[in-house]
């Protein structure tokens, strides 16, 4: 531990934290509790703004009597909802795998590059991350749409006779997701690969290991922390993604973010949208908790 | 021995081609004279002129910048305080809840953050517009700002603060004359991160803004849904250019500062 801790530290810590603490209680925790309460109210009888229900503190008994699990039952019964969760998990999982397959060689080559290049290469990976998400997705619409740049290029090369019709398919969603999240995969991979002790690779080579064996038994296991961090950084935001499936996907592309958006903005069913949000959070938190457990067990 | 072979070069070229070709194509077609995006009708800056006569778009851009300036300042301030509390004080009442609330927005899907804040504003009967978007953006970028400042505080030499305290400075004076000047680059980096997060955000702004407060991403989004047009390409090109200049300038500045730090 870092020296003696002053006795007043506890109180002073709270004093320093006070303003952000109050801010987060008001704008993070309170809204979350409201979502929970509205998810448990009935769309048929409750109309926006739903306020009297949860602000009536004196009527606590009435509050609990008013809880309605109907929305969650609907989520379980209507195939649309659980299929959209499964489909989100599938698309996020595929995105993670493809981003890993593309990002690993890139990160590896960056770590191997001469030192004086590395700063520039790192900047080049980060730069697309700073440009707007929307712009990057829009760029792909121009490429993937019928008679877009991809069709033009393939037709010019004589590879395809008819347009590919990739836009508004799950493939387009995957391409857009991999493209948008690739920097999140490359950065942690690069950091771990760059710190990798080169003498271990040399030792393995001196002992007669082939490059493939070296990669499999030395490089890959040592870069596992980077693989895990990168996968988490891609997988977690990919599950709740809205913009990419909405703009690149088709009408049959099911993802939770899109379902929540349309329940809210098109169907105006706020309680159901809130229930979708609560279940999405559970879907997100579960793997995180399991991952943390696994990490602790490994230590 | 580190060897950089043809395999590595190929990986770099292909990787960066994938990252940059779509953006290059987008920029190239913003200078297309033809409205048909597939036909190259010669070089023209026509769409940029059209852009500067598009008043709703300019209004949206100005609103977006104002939202980003205020929300980034709020997020950097709150994030710095949160980072100080979390790195300096190992235990205070509700510390676990606090760190959870700071970090949760980092993994929270934007649709949930947006929905929950909207429901709060509706419950509180707050009129939605400029300020609700500012509050929403400050809240979700606070965690990012906190992490950036925390990284700097982790390697902080506390003996400098102790010296100031020994010489009779109050904690507040110490903070403003010793701590803040030393962590300033991190606070600035946190501000920049929060600023770009706010500029970029579509989902949270769509939930929390009201009539008359349409941000640039919201306007671009509805234009994109109608289809591809060279005018959108031109708007995107300007935004990419602004970001590229800002990021390169910031990294040069940080590099110069690091060099000065090594010499001094």
ipTM of predicted complex: 0.85
Burial call B94-132: b when 16+ CB within 10 Å, e when fewer: ebeebbebbbbbbbbbbbbbbbbbbbbbbbeeeebbbbb
For residue A179, name the pLDDT band (cuts at 50, 70, 90): very high
Instruction: Quickly count: other Cβ atoms within 10 Å of residue A269's Cβ.
Output: 16
Residue A55: list chain B partners with CB under 8 A.
Answer: 123
Using the predicted structure, report yes or no on whether residue B263 has a pLDDT greater than 60.
no
Distance of alpha carbon A200 from its chain centroid, rounded? 34
Q: What is the pLDDT of residue A163?
A: 74
* DSSP single-letter state for residue B32: B
Helices (H) and strands (E) in chain A, counts: 17, 0
Question: What is the tens place of the pLDDT at every residue in B53-78?
Answer: 888 889 999 999 999 999 999 999 99
Instruction: Give the gap in angstroms from C-alpha B182 to the nearest C-alpha of chain A.
Output: 18
Query: Nearest to residue B30, comparing CAs of B236, B197, B260, B264?
Result: B236
Residue B254: list chain A partners with CB under 8 A.
Answer: none
CB A275 within 8 A of CB A85: no
Least confident of A123-132, A158-167, B62-71, B198-207: A158-167
Question: Which residue ranges form the domains of chain B, and what is each CATH number?
Answer: 54-263 (1.10.3720.10)
For residue B1, name the pLDDT band (cuts at 50, 70, 90): very low
Average pLDDT across chain A, whole number: 82
Using the predicted structure, report yes or no on whether residue B38 has a pLDDT greater than 80.
no
Are the Cβ atoms of B26 and A239 closer than 8 angstroms? no
Tell me the backbone φ, ψ of residue A184, rounded to 5 degrees. -65, -30
d(CA B188, CA B190): 5
d(CA A272, CA A128): 36
Q: How many residues does chain A have?
A: 299
For residue B79, name the pLDDT band (cuts at 50, 70, 90): very high
Question: What is the tens place of the pLDDT at every residue in B209-257?
Answer: 988 889 999 999 998 888 778 888 888 888 888 888 887 887 787 777 7
Instruction: Quickly count: other Cβ atoms within 10 Å of residue A209's Cβ.
Output: 16
Cα torsion B164, B169, B173, B177: sign: negative
Tell me the CB-side half-sphere exposure of residue A265, using CA atoms within 13 A. 13
d(CA A69, CA A89): 24
Q: What is the pLDDT of residue B103?
A: 85
Are the Cβ atoms of A135 and B239 closer than 8 angstroms? yes
d(CA A263, CA A71): 12
Using the predicted structure, report yes or no on whether residue B102 has a pLDDT greater than 50.
yes
Average pLDDT across chain B, whole number: 87
The residue that leads in pLDDT, B37 or A163, is A163
- Predicted model pTM: 0.84
Residue B34: list chain A partners with CB under 8 A.
Answer: none
Are the Cβ atoms of B91 and A13 closer than 8 angstroms? yes
């Amino acid at each position: 531990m870092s020296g003696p801790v002053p006795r007043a530290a506890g109180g002073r810590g709270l004093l320093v934290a006070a303003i952000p603490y109050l801010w987060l209680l008001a704008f993070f925790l309170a809204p979350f509790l409201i979502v929970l309460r509205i998810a448990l109210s009935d769309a048929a009888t409750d109309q926006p703004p739903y306020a009297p229900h949860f602000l009536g503190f004196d009527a606590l008994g009435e509050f609990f009597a008013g809880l309605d699990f109907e929305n969650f039952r609907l989520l379980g019964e209507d195939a649309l909802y659980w299929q959209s969760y499964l489909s989100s998990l599938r698309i996020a999982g595929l995105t993670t795998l493809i981003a890993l397959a593309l990002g690993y060689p890139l990160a590896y080559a960056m770590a191997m590059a001469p030192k004086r290049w590395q700063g520039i290469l790192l900047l080049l990976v980060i730069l697309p991350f700073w440009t707007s998400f929307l712009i990057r997705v829009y760029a792909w619409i121009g490429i993937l749409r019928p008679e877009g740049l991809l069709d033009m290029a393939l037709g010019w090369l004589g590879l395809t006779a008819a347009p590919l019709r990739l836009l508004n398919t799950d493939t387009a969603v995957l391409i857009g997701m991999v493209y948008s999240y690739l920097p999140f995969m490359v950065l942690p991979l690069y950091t771990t690969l760059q710190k990798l002790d080169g003498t271990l690779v040399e030792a393995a080579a001196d002992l007669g290991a082939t490059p493939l064996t070296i990669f499999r038994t030395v490089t890959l296991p040592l870069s596992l922390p980077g693989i895990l961090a990168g996968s988490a950084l891609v997988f977690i935001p990919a599950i709740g993604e809205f913009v990419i499936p909405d703009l690149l996907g088709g009408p049959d592309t099911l993802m939770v973010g899109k379902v929540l958006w349309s329940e809210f903005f098109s169907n105006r069913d706020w309680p159901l949208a809130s229930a979708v949000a609560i279940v999405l959070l559970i879907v997100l938190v579960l793997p995180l908790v399991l991952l943390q457990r696994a990490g602790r067990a490994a230590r | 021995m580190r060897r950089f072979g043809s395999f590595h070069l190929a990986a770099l070229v292909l990787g960066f081609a994938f990252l940059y070709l779509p953006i290059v194509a987008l920029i190239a077609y913003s200078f297309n004279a033809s409205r048909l995006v597939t036909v190259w009708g010669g070089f023209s800056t026509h769409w940029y002129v059209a852009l500067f006569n598009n008043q709703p778009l300019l209004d949206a851009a100005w609103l977006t910048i104002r939202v980003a300036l205020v929300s980034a300042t709020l997020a950097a301030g709150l994030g710095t305080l949160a980072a100080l509390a979390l790195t300096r004080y190992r235990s205070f009442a509700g510390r676990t809840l606090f760190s959870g609330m700071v970090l949760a927005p980092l993994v929270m899907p934007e649709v949930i953050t947006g929905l929950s804040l909207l429901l709060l504003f509706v419950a509180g009967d707050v009129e939605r517009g400029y300020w609700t978007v500012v509050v929403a953006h400050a809240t979700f970028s606070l965690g990012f700002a906190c992490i950036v400042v925390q990284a700097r505080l982790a390697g902080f030499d506390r003996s400098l603060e102790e010296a100031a305290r020994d010489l009779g400075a109050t904690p507040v004076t110490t903070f403003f004359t010793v701590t803040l000047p030393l962590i300033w680059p991190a606070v600035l980096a946190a501000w920049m991160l929060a600023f770009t997060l706010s500029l970029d955000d579509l989902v949270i702004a769509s939930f929390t803004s009201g009539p008359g407060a349409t941000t640039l991403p919201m306007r671009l989004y509805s234009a994109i849904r109608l289809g591809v047009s060279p005018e959108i390409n031109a708007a995107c090109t300007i935004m990419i250019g602004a970001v590229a200049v800002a990021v390169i300038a910031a990294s040069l500045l940080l590099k110069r500062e690091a060099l000065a730090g090594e010499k001094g």
